[in-house]
């Protein structure tokens, strides 16, 4: 029989949602959330380590060598804000479970890819799927655990999953490539992902904002769709231009690259003005400008940005 947290010596719960959470369910929540983060970067590690063999097996052109890795980050990064906003309306658990199971499907598809186009498309779809899971992790942790030891452990494990998954992915990518084949790396990931997704149905709490409005109406009225699209398109165009220049730095001078870069910069500049407009009108704002006046919030965002920038840059040097 499951043992309540308070009987296991943890800090007594301070909020009703966490009052009856057992140790078994608490551990499962931590493993599930950290596991998805682990698999998120593990796939990139396997891909980077096995990329020369993958390119040879599926006939991936040399100019597109970095695209399987780039499109995954591109798709995931551009849709985080949109899926996070949608999760607030339809429910974080529904969004997380749906994205996780879709990630299983597309991870298997990556392992079965026979052409370069297929592996790029399926990696893009996998990035879209994982972006439905990542924005909701903090909500699950704060909903499940009161302030104290359990919540600290949950946040720590959730964070360590990223670098640990990538490091192990590099090792396993090399091992699988030299033994049973790189495809089994993705098949193994899909099996683990399926187990985590199934466990999540039982363990993850329901996180939603009660409302008398229908969810379709809430989607239309309670989400800053214009702000979400502006930021997503801006990031997408910017990352696309940067990805294009990976094959040759001279492409940055192409008229198409210059035009796309100009549009991306213009949208990024317009975004805070739109946030100010929405706030002044009393409408939902995707990222209200007042958040950036909070020194803690801004410094944390900057630190996370620099950490991820260094990690993502390192993976390409490792491949060389």
pLDDT digits (tens, 9 = 90+) for 133-166: 888 888 888 888 888 888 888 888 888 888 888 8
Q: If you ran DSSP here, which 8-state letter would residue 222 be given? A: S
Is residue 16's pLDDT more than 70?
no
Residue 151 contacts residue 142 (beta carbons within 8 Å): yes
Residue 44 contacts residue 169 (beta carbons within 8 Å): yes
For residue 36, give every residue at least 6 positions away whose Cβ sits within 8 Å of its Cβ, in sequence order, or none: 100, 103, 130, 133, 134, 137, 161, 193, 196
d(CA 158, CA 152): 10
Is residue 318's pLDDT more than 80?
no
User: Mean pLDDT lowest for which of 8-22, 84-98, 130-144, 177-191?
Assistant: 8-22
Phi and psi torsions of 214, nearest 5°: -70, 150
Is residue 8's pLDDT more than 50?
no
Q: What is the pLDDT of residue 97?
A: 92
Mean of the per-residue pLDDT values of the chain: 82
Question: Could you give the angle at the alpha carbon of 157 between the alpha carbons of 15 and 193, nearest 5°?
Answer: 100
| Comparison of pLDDT for 17 and 250, the residue scoring more | 250
Handedness of CA 59, 102, 99, 176 (dihedral sign): negative
Tokens at 94, concatenated: 């529904």
Mean pLDDT to the nearest integer, 47-65: 84
User: Mean pLDDT lowest for which of 197-206, 217-226, 306-315?
Assistant: 306-315
Domains of the chain and any CATH numbers: 22-221 (1.20.1250.20)
Q: What is the pLDDT of residue 99?
A: 92
Share of the chain above pLDDT 90, in %: 19
Is residue 6's pLDDT more than 90?
no
d(CA 107, CA 124): 10
pLDDT digits (tens, 9 = 90+) for 84-113: 888 888 888 888 999 999 999 999 999 999
Is residue 55's pLDDT more than 80?
yes
User: Mean pLDDT lowest for which of 90-94, 123-127, 198-202?
Assistant: 90-94
Cβ count near 179 (within 10 Å)? 9
């Amino acid at each position: 029989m499951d043992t309540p947290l308070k009987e296991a010596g943890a800090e007594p719960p301070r909020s009703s949602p966490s009052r009856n959470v057992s140790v078994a369910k608490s551990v499962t929540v931590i493993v599930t959330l950290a596991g998805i983060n682990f698999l998120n970067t593990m796939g990139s590690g396997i891909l980077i380590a096995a990329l020369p063999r993958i390119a040879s097996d599926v006939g991936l052109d040399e100019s597109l060598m970095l695209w399987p890795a780039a499109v995954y980050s591109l798709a995931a990064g551009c849709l985080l804000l949109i899926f996070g906003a949608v999760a607030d309306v339809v429910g974080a658990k529904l969004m997380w479970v749906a994205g996780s199971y879709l990630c299983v499907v597309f991870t298997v598809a990556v392992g079965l890819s026979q052409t370069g186009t297929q592996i790029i498309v399926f990696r893009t779809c996998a990035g879209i799927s994982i972006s439905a899971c990542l924005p909701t992790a903090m909500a699950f942790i704060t909903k499940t655990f009161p302030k104290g030891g359990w919540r600290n452990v949950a946040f720590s494990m959730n964070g360590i999953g990223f670098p640990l998954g990538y490091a192990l992915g590099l090792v396993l990518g090399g091992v699988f490539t030299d033994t049973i084949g790189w495809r089994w790396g993705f098949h193994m990931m899909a099996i683990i992902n399926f187990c985590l997704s199934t466990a999540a149905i039982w363990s993850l709490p329901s996180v939603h904002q009660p409302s008398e409005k229908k969810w379709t109406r809430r989607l239309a009225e309670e989400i800053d769709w214009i702000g979400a699209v502006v930021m997503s398109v801006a990031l997408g165009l910017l990352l696309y231009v940067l990805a294009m220049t990976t094959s040759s730095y001279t492409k940055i001078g192409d008229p198409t690259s210059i035009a796309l870069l100009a549009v991306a910069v213009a949208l990024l500049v317009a975004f805070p003005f739109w946030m100010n407009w929405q706030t002044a009108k009393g409408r939902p704002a995707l990222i209200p400008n007042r958040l950036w006046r909070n020194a803690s919030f801004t410094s944390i965002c900057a630190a996370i940005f620099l950490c991820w920038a260094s990690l993502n840059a390192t993976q390409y040097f490792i491949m060389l």
